[in-house]
Structure 1
């Protein structure tokens, strides 16, 4: 069993807190490592290291081209260790090997994307007046505190680290306390590149201690958090001390609208992928399927039949199509929501139970679960379950579909399925969400911004917008004809 260590200033060190967090493989519930339960004091020390490194200019003062070279080094070493990263993600998170491998590949590509973006022209210049030239430049924020969730431990880390470093910041990463394995490996690999020591630091521990210290610290210039809306509110409140910039990617309860003229096979295929990929533990999951009443019964019948065929099992089994639930606590929360759904009067059309056959009783596996005949006031329709549980709701026409879709405190994602492109675009433009699709679901690119409306967050990851999140914008005004202004004469 491996005892994990903190990474500060280019050194692996033991935590000052001797208490450990047991890291489990959710497919077997076996302890695979022990992580440090970081203290407030060592978190503050890591922040000081990041600040000193930033102020030294050893990374922040490097040219964009020089930083791009280092980002490409990181991308290459991730590529070389793809299999190791994939296996660690499967063991620690419980996702299937196919999903973990896709995450690892995108992680390497994200570093490549931001390396390329750094070499592109940036900023503005214009004549403010005859004698005044104005330059708009972008500068690093300073110290960026990065707090990532447990559902995409590697990829979410990279979505934050790559643009933060590209912008010239120094960083402090806090992985989710139950899934730190790939973050540790990532920093082991970064340590082998030319990134200056102290520019990237890793502190493991709990949210109330490590996360809170990062959010409160006056030496942290911005905090980027991905996780629940409730914790996001706490981050915002803690960040008010020094008015630091806050970037939040939070919860979702995303609608997937299926019209009666949709290609049924395609709609069903994507609607399955939209919720059961990642065992439903994806913030953008299409957890609310809205189906036009004319095809509702047919859709439900075919959807349930296809969902029955999903192979659930350990992520290291190549045959598995859906993996384990990440932790015992979250496993029980999902089962509790299934119980609530039945008590609310929804029809349990499929699943709803723990899987125990074929050795799955050793792990945390839940059947693909489908509720039908639901109403918008039910908790299973309104609250984020974050598991393999989907509701299928009926609507009459465009107007009602849009009304139901937007009847949520969240606004992260959404989709429309229809052969009528005009109708599909008309409806998707009315859906209040930041990530949307027409006749598809979950397919995204690194180049496009990621984030939501309403209580699904503030700010954007990825694309040029993701780099902007980690930069300050400055205007420089140059007087081309300096002479007395005679204002007070």
Structure 2
């Protein structure tokens, strides 16, 4: 183990602890393959301590007595601290997940906007005064925090996707137990130190680390967890639904995708090629919104494919910390092996490998887990490579005849997270979003997100929405209050 290996502790009630077992597990740098950090290996006992701390903070002490405006001040302060330490946090994320420093730095500098947006929204959570048809009665509604939230986050954009949950939950008055991916826990533990520095009361935000069976499962089953907010795979999402049903927990689930990018014959070819490459090879394809199915009108199929392959072939691979690198390593060894297995599946199904299709052997890739940008042609939408989420730098090019054919193919999947279209037709720009079954549709762009815009999927891609004003509603319950100054009812056994 390298001498500079960092050993972390977990964060509960604004204090740093070893796990109950005292055990740790190792986290490796995807570019070098070397161990660089030791993470506490938590279990059910640690989960229970963290949940009890969050439950206590929800009901007693400073947090429930803060005004909504004061909660907003704390969120803004946290946003300022993240902005201050953006490059430091981004560098840690690169060591953890291998994504480009250029991308992670941009994410971390944009991330405070979620904190600022929900800081401003915190004291604008309004109830209502509905008109009532009963005499001498007055009703109003209150919006109250849903309770203790379990936030379970993935390894591809750990802090960004944590902020999508944490910011609206705190603005609503909830408390949280965060369980980061076992592959990328370090940045969340560094983030927790900023929560403490910002002045949040003890127990409002807690972080436990470890594996799904030891930490994730007891967390989502805990009777004092009121809501689960999860970003990750479809199979895990399904297990969360089953486990949470026992206590009727509220859920926000952002799951997988098999998103289609549709290139119509009238599209600007240069823009479409650039956007399509960005949609699949940026972040090494390790994003739930990856445009992994590239639907191209048959009349431009040859020209588009040649231009697409030419640009993809030029991608510079290597050290993700270098500004010149465009494609970094796969984050984990198991995911690296999984992607290679899907490449073999595609070849065996009869898809034609037009580019890549192998592990990268470039000298600049060192000992990292790199896969060459891979393009498949001769793909039928029924093939597994077109139906199952690969989560890597692998794209399928599928021709279509006309608009109806494009919409049919695009919608022929169990997923419904995102879609993109490339066209110069004003009519198509409005018609296609109506026809496509996806939570987000981009027109002549791709991979754009904002704190102002709701994000989430339909079908097997999830439940609920994150970001925008819809995001905070996921962390609120509505309570109706009745006031009466009327006479005693004539018959107390009859509903008024």
Both proteins in one fold, TM over 0.5? yes
Residues 46-445 of structure 1: pairs in structure 2 closer than 5 A: 46-56=50-60, 58-120=62-124, 122-129=126-133, 131-445=136-450
SS state of the match for residue 475, structure 1? strand
SS state of the match for residue 217, structure 2? helix
Deviations 1:258-308 (A, max 9, x none): 110111111111111111111100001111010111101111011000111
The answer on 1:9 being equivalent to 2:20 is no
Counterpart contact for 1:263–1:419, Cα < 8 Å: yes
SS state of the match for residue 192, structure 1? helix
Deviations 1:227-257 (A, max 9, x none): 0000001111111221111111000000111
Structure 1 residue 98 displacement after superposition:
1.1
Rounded Cα–Cα distance in structure 2 between residues aligned with 1:62 and 1:483: 38
Rounded Cα–Cα distance in structure 2 between residues aligned with 1:34 and 1:464: 38
Rounded Cα–Cα distance in structure 2 between residues aligned with 1:452 and 1:248: 9
Counterpart contact for 1:143–1:170, Cα < 8 Å: yes
Q: Which runs of 5+ in 2 are unaligned?
A: none
Rounded Cα–Cα distance in structure 2 between residues aligned with 1:488 and 1:361: 80
Structure 1 residue 121 displacement after superposition:
5.5
SS state of the match for residue 17, structure 1? coil
Rounded Cα–Cα distance in structure 2 between residues aligned with 1:52 and 1:360: 49
* Pairing partner for 2:39 from 22, 35, 38: 35
Rounded Cα–Cα distance in structure 2 between residues aligned with 1:357 and 1:433: 37
Counterpart contact for 2:137–2:486, Cα < 8 Å: no
Q: In terms of mean alpha carbon deviation, does 313-322 or 452-461 score higher?
A: 313-322
SS state of the match for residue 384, structure 1? coil
SS state of the match for residue 60, structure 1? helix
Deviations 1:302-342 (A, max 9, x none): 10001111111121111101211001110010011111111
Deviations 1:327-378 (A, max 9, x none): 1110010011111111111111111121122241311111111111100111
Counterpart contact for 1:137–1:475, Cα < 8 Å: yes
The CA RMSD measured in Å over matched residues stands at 1.2
Structure 1 residue 488 displacement after superposition:
4.8
Rounded Cα–Cα distance in structure 1 between residues aligned with 2:42 and 2:335: 23
SS state of the match for residue 356, structure 1? coil
Counterpart contact for 2:356–2:375, Cα < 8 Å: yes
SS state of the match for residue 362, structure 1? coil
Aligned length: 488
| TM-score of the pair, normalised by structure 1 | 0.98
Counterpart contact for 1:290–1:392, Cα < 8 Å: yes
Structure 1 residue 164 displacement after superposition:
1.0
Q: Which runs of 5+ in 1 are unaligned?
A: none
Rounded Cα–Cα distance in structure 1 between residues aligned with 2:460 and 2:61: 37
SS state of the match for residue 214, structure 2? helix
Rounded Cα–Cα distance in structure 1 between residues aligned with 2:148 and 2:110: 25
Rounded Cα–Cα distance in structure 1 between residues aligned with 2:177 and 2:357: 40
Structure 1 residue 133 displacement after superposition:
2.7
Counterpart contact for 1:60–1:169, Cα < 8 Å: no
Counterpart contact for 1:60–1:140, Cα < 8 Å: no
Counterpart contact for 1:257–1:291, Cα < 8 Å: yes
Counterpart contact for 1:355–1:361, Cα < 8 Å: no
SS state of the match for residue 397, structure 2? strand
Structure 1 residue 28 displacement after superposition:
0.6
Rounded Cα–Cα distance in structure 1 between residues aligned with 2:199 and 2:420: 43
Rounded Cα–Cα distance in structure 1 between residues aligned with 2:281 and 2:299: 25
Rounded Cα–Cα distance in structure 1 between residues aligned with 2:306 and 2:276: 13
Counterpart contact for 1:59–1:169, Cα < 8 Å: no
Partner of 1:22: 26
Rounded Cα–Cα distance in structure 1 between residues aligned with 2:152 and 2:439: 21
